[in-house]
Amino acid sequence: MSEERYTIADQPARFARAKRENNQRYLDITTVYDPSLLKDKRVAVTGANRGIGLALAKELAAAGAKVIGIVRSSSPELEALNPEEVITGIDVTDDAKCAALSSQIKGGAIDVLINNAGYFKEEVERLDTLDFPDQLKTIDICACGPLRVASSLINGGLLKEGSKIVMITSQGGSVGWREVQCPTGGDYGHHMSKAAANMMSVLLANEVRSKGIAVGVFHPGFNKTEMTAKYKEIWEIEGAVDPSVGAKRVLHETNQLSMETSGKFINCEDGLEIPW
């Protein structure tokens, strides 16, 4: 990691600085990403049927990893990768289905679990459009869901010493950055869910440290997906990238994750920390 500890909150300024300084780590992740480190690793990915989850599955397959897709329903794109296993019917808000997940995975221990499944309300939420049921749904999917999945695989003995858990969260969960990134507020459910996910991830990292399991708390960067399409007008100025690039960024940081960095909030664009 760079001697500079924290990345900066202003996304356009962050991207502009990377271009000005010709920061290849930021601008071209292939200059540092080593896919060979993932060869033959058993990697489980939730939400692997589309978006950044599918992009992760594609990059993992290309790297020679053994992909286990954990999804509500599969997709032709996921099946085309010939994954090791695809576990369908998994709703991360369903206690019973998540608890039974570990018994459905047949190939043995998991080297890496990537908790990617998420939800993002399309409409920008304001005081006059508050949707409390949707807020609770978002928190359940984004914060409780990853904990349900992780606990199932830990309690089922599939995640053990040397395993890694990656939580795909967001810079939107940084309370300290709201003055810069959300000076007019809004989008309550999204931001609350990511802050809750961050807290959950740190608590989990602390609890499983004695088991030798590392937990990464990753902002994947700004990716051009269906989930971020409502911000399409700022994709270019803020340096949004194709999901294939975002996936490589996440996998590079997954390779870097260790017990020493477990529980830290990392921006996968530049590898620097994000303040809580």
Centroid of chain to Cα 129: 28
Task: Read off the pLDDT of each residue in 151-170 and give the average, rounded to a whole number.
Answer: 98
With bands split at pLDDT 50, 70 and 90, how would you rate the model's confidence at 95? Answer: very high
Q: How confident is the model at residue 232 (pLDDT cuts 50, 70, 90)?
A: confident
Report pLDDT for 224.
86
Task: Classify residue 24: in a domain, yes or no.
Answer: yes
pTM for this prediction = 0.95
What band does 235 get if pLDDT is binned at 50, 70 and 90? confident
> Which pLDDT score, from 0 to 100, does residue 1 have?
39
- Tell whether 155 is covered by a domain: yes
Q: Do the domain assignments include residue 3?
A: no
Residue 274 lies in a domain: no
Q: Is 65 inside a domain boundary?
A: yes
Question: What does the mean pLDDT of the chain come to?
Answer: 95
The pLDDT score that the predictor gives to residue 164 is: 99
Residue 228 pLDDT exceeds 80 = no
Asked if residue 146 belongs to a domain, the reply is: yes
CA angle 78, 30, 36 (to 5 degrees): 65
Considering its fold, how many domains does the chain have in total? 1
Q: Residue 143's closest CA among 169, 174, 178, 182?
A: 169
> Hey, which bits of the chain come out as E strands?
42-46, 66-70, 85-87, 112-115, 164-168, 214-219, 265-267
The range of the structural domain enclosing residue 131 comes to 11-267
Is the pLDDT confidence value at 90 over 90? Answer: yes
Q: SS3 of 110, please? A: coil
Confidence of residue 2 (pLDDT cuts 50, 70, 90): very low
User: For residue 42, is it within any domain?
Assistant: yes
User: pLDDT per residue over 53-84, tens digit each?
Assistant: 999 999 999 999 999 999 999 999 999 999 99
For position 119, which CATH number holds?
Answer: 3.40.50.720
6 domain-assigned: no
Q: What is the pLDDT of residue 234?
A: 83
Strands 42-46 and 164-168: unpaired
Percent of the chain with pLDDT over 90: 89
